[in-house]
Amino acid sequence: MAKVRVDNTRDAAFRATTRKHRELKFGLLGLLWLVGTLIHHPGAHAQAPEGLTAVEGLRVGHFTLVDRPTGCTVILAEDGAVAGVDVRGGAPGTRETDLLAPGTLVQEVHGIALSGGSAFGLDAASGVMRYLAERDIGFQTSVARVPIVPAAILFDLAVGDDPTVRPDAQCGYRAAETASTAVVAEGNVGAGTGATIGKTGGSARAMKGGLGSASVRLANGLVVAALVVVNAVGDVVDPATGKIVAGVRTLDGTGLADARSLLRANTVTPARQGENTTLGVVATNARLTQTQATQVARMAHDGFARAIIPSHTPSDGDAIFTLSTGQHSGAPPLGLIGALAADVVSEAILRGVRAATGIPGYPAARDFPAVP
């Protein structure tokens, strides 16, 4: 019988390559399992009740105007926070977002201003700058410290009777004065006061949006949180069930029409251009670079797509900022942070709409019976 020659060298190399592929495969599956467990099983982590203020180093304040449903919300990072931003949709209204692009000089911001009032509301950031400048907080130049306060706005001028009532610099200043580390107020407050949703059937069939916040704290101390102001064209949907929480109403105004049905039937009423926006701020105590913060903002937009249908439309000016305070040591697990960011963003959207109360012409989710 002829002897069979075995190439032990080649066989050993084959076994080593196979083992590496197997380890890589199970490593990736393990990461996916971990992210899925953290997202879909709340028992896997402790929920922090504070919302965005669960991230140490941040304070949140609101100022709500009384003459018309509108206002502004301010997030202060007085010790500085590395920031990134991702803007989507066709109708953004922003300020100081170019300086957040990776590779630019300024790496940290000292606050974020979110405001109603359309482009007029961008002036709220000036008030936040004044508040910080009075406390000598800002980017050091040769002659003064300049506070860096990016901002974004939503359109709510059609809500209420007098569109000349809108947030200004004083509104931003007052919001900064009220900023604290307390549990974030939700619903009809600050920038969420005049927020509305569900406009695929026209504004006459819309409902009340609002401001919400959510956070997650892992056992190792990593915190990821979000604050979202929901003023979207689309409906708000619970990603866990697929059921409508609030959105476009039926023709008689007594039920939920479901934007998905209107889209498939091609019976959508075109939304007014530039009159809708969902704004978000994601924060973490992880130590991120500006490039990484931008990547987290991009991933966080998945939370919009899960909970708002449709999202990122030509009539929306959707934007998400990311803030990194760097309080948590260790290399940041970027994929995990981004996945959790999307999760808390969608949770914040649901919380904001469920916390909202109805105003004339815009009933809230709580005014409708739960969808079976």
**CATH number of domain containing 332:** 3.60.70.12
Instruction: Give the length of the chain.
Output: 372
337 within domain boundaries: yes
185 and 278 together in one domain: yes
Of the candidates 197, 116, 161, the one whose C-alpha atom is nearest the C-alpha of residue 362 is 197
27 and 65 together in one domain: no
36 within domain boundaries: yes
150 and 220 together in one domain: yes
208 within domain boundaries: yes
Please write the tens of the pLDDT for every residue from 33-42. 344 434 433 3
Grade residue 50 by pLDDT with cuts at 50, 70 and 90.
confident
Mean pLDDT of 328-348: 94
Q: What angle do CA 214, 358, 306 make, to 5 degrees?
A: 40
Q: Could you write out the DSSP letters of every residue in 271-314?
A: PPTT-BEEEEEEEEEE---HHHHHHHHHHHHHHHHHHEES-S-T
193 within domain boundaries: yes
Q: What angle do CA 269, 163, 65 make, to 5 degrees?
A: 115
14 and 135 together in one domain: no
Cα(127)–Cα(167) distance, rounded to whole angstroms? 10
80 and 19 together in one domain: no
Cβ neighbour number for residue 361 with a 10 Å cutoff:
14
Q: Which stretch of 84-88, 199-203, 224-228 has the lowest confidence by average pLDDT?
A: 199-203
219 and 271 together in one domain: yes
19 and 58 together in one domain: no
The total domain count for the chain is 2
Please write the tens of the pLDDT for every residue from 94-104. 999 999 999 89
Write out the residue range of the structural domain in which residue 77 sits.
45-367
pTM: 0.85
140 and 29 together in one domain: no
75 within domain boundaries: yes
223 and 311 together in one domain: yes
78 and 145 together in one domain: yes
Residue 26 has pLDDT above 70, yes or no: no
Residues 6+ apart with CB under 8 A from 122: 93, 94, 95, 113, 115, 151, 153
Residues 56 and 284 sit within 8 Å (Cβ to Cβ):
no
Please write the tens of the pLDDT for every residue from 222-234. 999 999 999 999 9
4 within domain boundaries: no
372 within domain boundaries: no
193 and 203 together in one domain: yes
59 and 21 together in one domain: no
59 within domain boundaries: yes
